[in-house]
Amino acid sequence: MKNILYGGMAVLIILTASCSKDKIVQQKGVNPPSDSGATVSAYYTKAMQTDGFIVNNLLTSYGSYRVNTTTNTNGAFEWYNTSQMYADAAIIAHGDASYLPKMDATFKWLDNLWDKTDPHGGYFAAANLDGSGASGIKYVDDNSLSGDIFLAAYDVTTGTDKAAYLAKAEACADWLINSGLWDTNYGGGFWWNTTKPNKPTQSNGVALQLFSRLYKITGDTTYRNWAVSINKWLQSTMLDNTTGLYVWEIDSSGVKHTQIFTYDNAIMIEAFLDYGDAMNDNTYLTKAQNLGNAMIATLYDKNYNVFIFNTADIRVNGAWCGWASQGMIKLYEADNNSNWLTYAKANIDGINVVLRDPVSFGYYNFASLNGAGRYTNLEGVDQAWMERVEVLLSKYK
């Protein structure tokens, strides 16, 4: 999921099939949920404005979402598409069931990226807009996050749809288990992808969320055992005891890269909350709270009131920095401490100042904290994550 900056998916952008016949679906003027009160949150309004940008610029007639509006308009990334499903699931949970068909259409489109030649499947990382051209590398973080998002869809659906989302989340877990990407090198942990370049915190953190939630839902001890193993590896290998935060990765040569990323640690907040809930262990709420406070101490810039990208790269981004707001909101929902909401709100407000286009309501990709050097590309994943976190915050602010 660090593909834009670190080039891990650069080869996947080169997709040869033409999608010139694709038509962008037009859907302006999306309404707030029918059960909303007299006052609609300003954050929900912003989320709906961004949704309009997404529908009019990124959504296709196939149910997929293009990578961006500039450099890759004929390609679709798997985790960008599932991230948009994540935003849709938040809107559905907020009370607007009209988003169910849109979420389900993307879910169906994703079948094009499922590896039919592997008995355990797994999602390829990219394809053309019509779903053709999927092949190559498979990523642990993409598949784990997809499973997590399918469980968010499971939470807001019923009947056969609910069963289908659970089944696909379990299929993602089955691929992880049988992928051969967990081994004893460096004490355990999942490799990032099928080329085995590194073992990152984020890949293992989203996998921990998936296995914890699946154990909670199904009671299958296979999921429990995997959750326990991942948790042990993360805490023994990736935790920086000085800051109380989790470092980036161990590379294939055994070198530990100690940069600390905001979204890695936001993922770990949720992983602890999910793990503690699944294992009925209240000590993990304390661990999640401690991690949240450590993020504020090290990763939150008090001058600009945003969470930085990482300790070696002091910039702001919608998806990777916005992830912190989701973590803070989840903490508030776990302990009712409104201080978490203060940081969730300030972070969203800060991102809106620097990255939100006041005309199109889309989000630019990266900028310095003061707005200097702002990128011109509007990536689909940034739109999806900012839409989602603003919907989540709108319940409280």
Which residue type does 291 have?
L
Average pLDDT over residues 228-240: 98
Rounded Cα gap, residues 285 and 331, in angstroms: 8
Q: Within a domain: residue 256?
A: no
Q: Within a domain: residue 386?
A: no
> What per-residue confidence (pLDDT) applies to 63?
98
What is the per-residue pLDDT across 137-194, written as a single tens digit (0 to 9) for each? 999 999 999 999 999 999 999 999 999 999 999 999 999 999 999 999 999 999 999 9
What is the per-residue pLDDT across 290-326, written as a single tens digit (0 to 9) for each? 999 999 999 999 999 999 999 999 999 999 999 999 9
Q: Within a domain: residue 252?
A: no
Does position 26 have pLDDT exceeding 70, yes or no?
no
Residue 130 lies in domain? 62-179
State CA 298 to chain mean position distance.
22
> What per-residue confidence (pLDDT) applies to 394?
98
Residue 70 backbone dihedrals phi, psi, to 5 degrees: -130, -70
Number of domains in the chain: 1
Does position 19 have pLDDT exceeding 50, yes or no?
no
Where does the pLDDT of residue 11 fall: very low under 50, low under 70, confident under 90, or very high at 90 and above?
A: very low
Does position 39 have pLDDT exceeding 90, yes or no?
no
Q: Within a domain: residue 73?
A: yes
How many residues comprise the chain? 397
String of DSSP letters for 207-267 = HHHHHHHHHHHH--HHHHHHHHHHHHHIIIIIEETTTTEE--EEETTSPEE---BHHHHHH
In a 10 Å sphere around its CB, with 0-12 CB exposed, 13-18 middle and 19+ buried, how is residue 238 labelled?
Answer: buried
Does position 2 have pLDDT exceeding 90, yes or no?
no
Average pLDDT over residues 249-255: 98
Q: Shortest CA distance to 202 belongs to which of 356, 79, 377?
A: 79
Q: Within a domain: residue 96?
A: yes
Torsion of CA 192, 209, 378, 112, to 10 degrees: 70
Rounded Cα gap, residues 397 and 390, in angstroms: 9
Q: Within a domain: residue 128?
A: yes
Where does the pLDDT of residue 372 fall: very low under 50, low under 70, confident under 90, or very high at 90 and above?
A: very high
Residue 274 backbone dihedrals phi, psi, to 5 degrees: -65, -45
pTM above 0.85, yes or no: yes
What is the per-residue pLDDT across 53-95, written as a single tens digit (0 to 9) for each? 999 999 999 999 999 999 999 999 999 999 999 999 999 999 9
Q: Shortest CA distance to 98 belongs to which of 2, 16, 29, 22?
A: 29
> What per-residue confidence (pLDDT) applies to 35?
42
Parallel, antiparallel or unpaired: strands 198-200 and 249-251:
antiparallel
Q: Pick the range with the lowest mean pLDDT from 4-8, 90-94, 264-268, 269-273.
A: 4-8
Q: Within a domain: residue 332?
A: no
Q: Within a domain: residue 110?
A: yes
What is the chain's mean pLDDT, rounded? 92
